[in-house]
């Protein structure tokens, strides 16, 4: 009998994991506490934009013509407890209000609601990003609250998916990391991940704290890499150098690697910023805060990029105030191929300029609804061209392909002044300058 899996929490991580597990051939029951999410997913619709996810759902959600029928959704904990051999906990761990630490309340609540329904041996697998030490505590809680006692076991299996590539990253991960305390847990997880492991995905077996740390360490490293190149952008700008060339040149050293070396307005989103902060907070609790003080610098370099962009925009409109100026902002999401605007550097810059008196008009291919909800007072345009119409300066703040394919000649005709700032080092300066634009990119020479 193939294992029966449940997935608790159907956000980016959970919805993708549930669909991917059905694709791997398992019967899957997804749970969310929000009935409208369950209803949407049961109709094969996804509450966010993630390429390929709706197609994967439609392929497996029960009730669709031609679907495998292996995937269902519910709000019932009892049903989940009865159904699953393995339960994946995929709820989110946002930053606590006014603190660096992460908010564990969704994780705690998921465990305390699930455990009383575990009446037969089960493996609960935590996938949420949590402070190191959480797994040991949650394992004890499971044994205490589950009717089946010590036969409700815990494993920690961090998730490394990137938004925009969530389906691909879940079906073909670059590594699988499991924190376990028994052979039974390890062998159940080997069964779950048999397909990617057979394709060559490394399967790393560790203890709880190491598995928890792998996730935060990986995100801290990525954040550091981005802030490193952004620090080089600051120095390049001061010295008249070109950070894009510099990144290309150091990237050929395969110990360094070319990825994650794009300078610009920095990282945002629901993971990197809050994860490095929660990591610092947890290290502090453990008495190891000195080890991570560099992450404070990583965070400040990153936040400085946003202010620097505002300053470049101010220079572009004459150096004084933004009053009476129209600023076009291309991009609202924190990265392309996503509709996620959480801690988006683009919207942060747009908001700062508006607060300083500028008239800001934003356009984004997928993030408009979420952006409007978060910043209802910004101006919004239905197309890039309309956003640029009448603008004194254009800011390119999220590197969507659509923006690289824009026609600079057509935009120059509608802009008040053809002046563009590339906050993502993704546009071709030559093309824009040839079309008559004053083009400036972060960390690169002005002309």
Q: How far is the CB of 277 from ligand UDX (least distance, A)?
A: 13
The nearest distance, CB 92 to ligand UDX, in angstroms, is 11
Pairing assessment for the beta strands 419-422 and 393-396 based on DSSP bridges: parallel
Minimum CB distance to ligand UDX smaller for 107 or for 272: 272
Smallest gap from residue 358 Cβ to ligand UDX (A)? 23
Instruction: Pick the closer one to ligand UDX by CB: 83 or 334.
Output: 334
Q: How far is the CB of 259 from ligand UDX (least distance, A)?
A: 7
Residues found near ligand UDX in the complex (CB under 6 A): 160-163, 219, 222, 226, 260-262, 264, 266-269, 271-272, 334-335
Closest to 214 measured CA to CA, from 275, 137, 164: 275
Greatest C-alpha distance within the chain: 72
In the bound state with ligand UDX, the residue whose beta carbon lies nearer, of 347 and 384, is: 347
Q: What are residue 249's phi and psi, to 5 degrees?
A: -70, -45
Of 160 and 439, which CB lies nearer to ligand UDX in the complex structure? 160
Which among 90, 102, 271, 325 is annotated as catalytic? 271
CA 238 vs. chain centroid, Å, equals: 31
Provide the minimum distance between the beta carbon of 163 and ligand UDX in the complex, in angstroms, as a whole number: 4
Between 32 and 337, whose beta carbon lies closer to ligand UDX? 337
- Please name the residue that has the structure tokens 């505590």: 137
User: Shortest approach of ligand UDX to residue 338 CB, angstroms?
Assistant: 7
Q: Residue 6 or residue 230: which is nearer to ligand UDX going by CB? A: 230
* Residue 89 beta carbon to ligand UDX: minimum distance, rounded to whole angstroms: 16
Which residue, 60 or 215, is less far from ligand UDX as judged by CB?
Answer: 215
Query: By the 8 A CB rule, do 71 and 57 touch?
Result: yes
271 part of the active site: yes
Which residues are catalytically annotated? 271
């Amino acid at each position: 009998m193939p294992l029966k899996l449940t997935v608790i929490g159907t956000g980016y991580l959970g919805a993708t994991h549930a669909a991917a597990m059905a694709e791997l051939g398992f019967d899957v029951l997804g749970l969310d506490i929000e009935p409208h999410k369950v209803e949407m997913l049961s109709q094969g619709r996804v509450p966010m934009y993630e390429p390929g996810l709706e197609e994967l759902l439609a392929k497996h959600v029960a009730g669709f013509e031609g679907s495998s029928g292996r995937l269902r959704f519910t709000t019932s904990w009892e049903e989940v407890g009865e159904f699953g051999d393995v339960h994946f906990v995929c709820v989110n761990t946002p930053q606590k209000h006014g603190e660096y630490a992460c908010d564990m309340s969704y994780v705690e609540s998921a465990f305390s609601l699930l455990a009383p329904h575990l009446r037969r041996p089960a493996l609960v697998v935590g996938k949420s990003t949590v402070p190191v030490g959480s797994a040991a505590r949650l394992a004890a809680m499971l044994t205490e609250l589950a009717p089946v006692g010590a036969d409700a076991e815990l494993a920690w299996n961090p998730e490394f998916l990137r938004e925009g590539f969530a389906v691909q990253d879940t079906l073909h991960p670059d590594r699988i990391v499991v924190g376990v305390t028994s052979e039974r847990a390890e062998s159940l997880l080997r069964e779950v991940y048999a397909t990617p492991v057979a394709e060559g995905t490394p399967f790393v077996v560790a203890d709880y704290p190491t598995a928890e740390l792998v996730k935060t360490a990986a995100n801290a490293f990525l954040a550091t890499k981005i802030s490193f190149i952004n620090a080089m952008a600051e120095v390049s700008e001061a010295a008249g150098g070109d950070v894009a060339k510099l990144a290309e040149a150091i990237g050929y050293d395969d110990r360094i690697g070319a990825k994650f070396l794009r300078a610009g307005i920095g990282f945002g989103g629901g993971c990197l910023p809050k994860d490095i902060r929660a990591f610092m907070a947890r290290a502090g609790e453990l008495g190891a805060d000195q080890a991570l003080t560099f992450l404070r610098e990583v965070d400040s370099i990153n936040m400085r990029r946003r202010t620097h962009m505002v300053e470049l925009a101010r220079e572009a409109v004459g150096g004084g105030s933004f009053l009476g100026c129209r600023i076009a902002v291309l991009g609202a999401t924190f990265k392309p191929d996503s509709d996620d605007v959480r801690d988006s550097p683009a919207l942060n810059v747009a908001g700062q300029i508006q607060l300083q008196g500028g008239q800001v008009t934003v356009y984004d291919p997928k993030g408009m609804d979420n952006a409007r909800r978060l910043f209802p007072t910004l101006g919004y345009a239905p197309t890039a061209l309309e956003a640029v119409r009448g603008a004194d300066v254009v800011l390119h703040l999220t590197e969507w392909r659509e923006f690289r394919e824009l026609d600079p000649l057509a935009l120059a005709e509608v802009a008040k002044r053809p002046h563009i700032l590339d906050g993502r080092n993704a546009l071709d300066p030559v093309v824009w300058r040839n079309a008559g634009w004053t083009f400036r990119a972060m960390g690169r020479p002005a002309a």
